[in-house]
């Protein structure tokens, strides 16, 4: 298959592209390499894939994987996205590109509308014009917001987001559903739960805490450490994505003709299932923030100096994934324990930053 991976220079995208290319799939990755965090880390991920990214949109071939290539591209350029789809005729799209981060959405909300809404719309419109077998896209556990039922289930309404980031991710799910209904696009959204591991994002706790502890600086512990997170290791996330890619939801019949859709008329397949699904991908075992810090201390061989602080706006006290649906459909069940995962992350961190 020919597969498009958006956000290939990102944490999850780079791991996924490597996995698919190693399997011999033809993978084309795109990324705009924005400066939300250190671009050297993004270029490091690309280099690890054998991709020496250029400044312009020229196609770069991997020196490590013959079937992998990269283009620097911004998804908000709808015409360029349309042209890419027309030229490549993708079989499958994995859309991971997005403006990430809960806290950043408090200070730069426009970035989330531009990237997460306009960018996703450009992808949907391109798929509408050049259909694919399956669209798999990244959502987030953040969509559950103030939902109180634990563990979080996909059956939840998820209509109480507590950050704009979460709201844009829920909007993505609704956008995908509407396009699946109108145009028969098989789509699957994946609600990721606190992903961590090698090449992780530097704005997330594992990275921030490791860097501060090694440098002898205090770490900021919000809500006085009274939080639990369903930490999910990157290899488990990638395994889940790969298995979902092969499980495109069944089509609901022929797409609704555009004229009929705009007039509100129903097709002859009204009442049949829309080919759109959503799955959680989490470890299913929340870990307290303090236990996470203690495990990190043990792996680093250093004690953390903790600066206890009140809750931050946009934070939720607990995330906990019910992954029963994912397991039932794909047979995938994330399993990497927190100490094994931290060991993998710290080993990578020491290598990448030449720490001993």
Give the position of tokens 């100490």. Answer: 339
Structure token digits, residue 300: 């680093």
- Three-state secondary structure along 133-188? CEEEEEEEHHHHCCCCCCCECCCCCCCCCCCHHHHHHHHHHHHHHHHHHHHCCCEE
- What percentage of the chain's residues is helix, strand, coil (to nearest 5)? 40, 15, 40
Neighbours of 344 (CB within 10 A): 18
Map residue 332 onto helix, strand or coil.
Answer: coil
Count of helices and strands (H, E) across the chain:
13, 14
For 147, phi then psi, to 5°, come to -55, 130
d(CA 30, CA 270): 36
In b/e form, how buried is each residue of 113-145, taking b as 16+ CB within 10 angstroms? Answer: bebbbebbbbbbbbbbebbbebbbbbbbbbbbb
Structure token digits, residue 121: 């719309």
d(CA 108, CA 99): 10
Give the position of tokens 């953040």. Answer: 142
Catalytic residue, chosen from 104, 137, 165, 177, is 165
Q: What are the distances in angstroms from CA 154 to CA 129, 141, 331?
A: 29, 10, 17
238 CA to centre of own chain: 10
> Is 104 part of the annotated catalytic residue set?
no
From 266, 272, 280, 283, select the one nearest 249 (Cα to Cα).
272
Active-site residue list: 165
């Amino acid at each position: 298959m020919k597969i498009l991976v958006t956000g290939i220079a990102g944490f999850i995208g780079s791991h996924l592209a490597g996995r698919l290319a190693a399997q011999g799939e033809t993978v084309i990755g795109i990324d705009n390499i924005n400066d939300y965090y250190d671009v050297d880390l993004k270029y490091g991920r690309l280099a690890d894939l054998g991709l020496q990214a250029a400044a312009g949109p020229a196609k770069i071939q991997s020196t490590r994987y013959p079937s992998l290539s990269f283009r620097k591209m911004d998804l908000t350029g709808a015409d360029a996205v349309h042209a890419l789809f027309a030229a490549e005729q993708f079989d499958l799209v994995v859309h991971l590109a997005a403006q990430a981060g809960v806290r950043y959405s408090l200070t730069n909300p426009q970035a989330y509308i531009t990237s997460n809404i306009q960018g996703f719309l450009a992808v949907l419109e391109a798929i509408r014009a050049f259909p694919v077998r399956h669209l798999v896209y990244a959502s987030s556990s953040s969509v559950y917001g103030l939902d109180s039922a634990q563990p979080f289930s996909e059956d939840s309404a998820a209509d109480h987001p507590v950050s704009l980031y979460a709201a844009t991710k829920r909007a993505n799910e609704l956008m995908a559903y509407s396009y699946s209904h109108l145009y028969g696009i098989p789509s699957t959204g994946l609600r990721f739960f606190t992903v961590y591991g090698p090449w992780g994002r530097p704005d997330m706790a594992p990275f921030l805490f490791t860097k501060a502890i090694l440098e002898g600086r205090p770490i900021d512990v919000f809500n006085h450490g009274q939080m639990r997170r369903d930490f999910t290791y990157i290899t488990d996330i990638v395994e889940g994505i790969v298995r979902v890619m092969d499980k495109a939801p069944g089509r609901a019949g022929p797409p609704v003709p555009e004229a009929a859709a705009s007039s509100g008329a129903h097709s002859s397949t009204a009442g049949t299932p829309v080919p759109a699904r959503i799955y959680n991908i989490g470890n299913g075992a929340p870990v307290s923030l303090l236990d996470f810090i203690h495990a990190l201390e043990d792996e680093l061989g250093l004690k953390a100096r903790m600066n206890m602080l009140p809750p931050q706006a946009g934070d939720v006290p607990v995330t906990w994934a019910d992954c029963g649906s994912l397991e039932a459909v794909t047979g995938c069940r994330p399993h990497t324990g927190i100490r094994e995962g931290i060991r993998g992350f710290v080993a990578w961190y020491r290598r990448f930053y030449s720490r001993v």
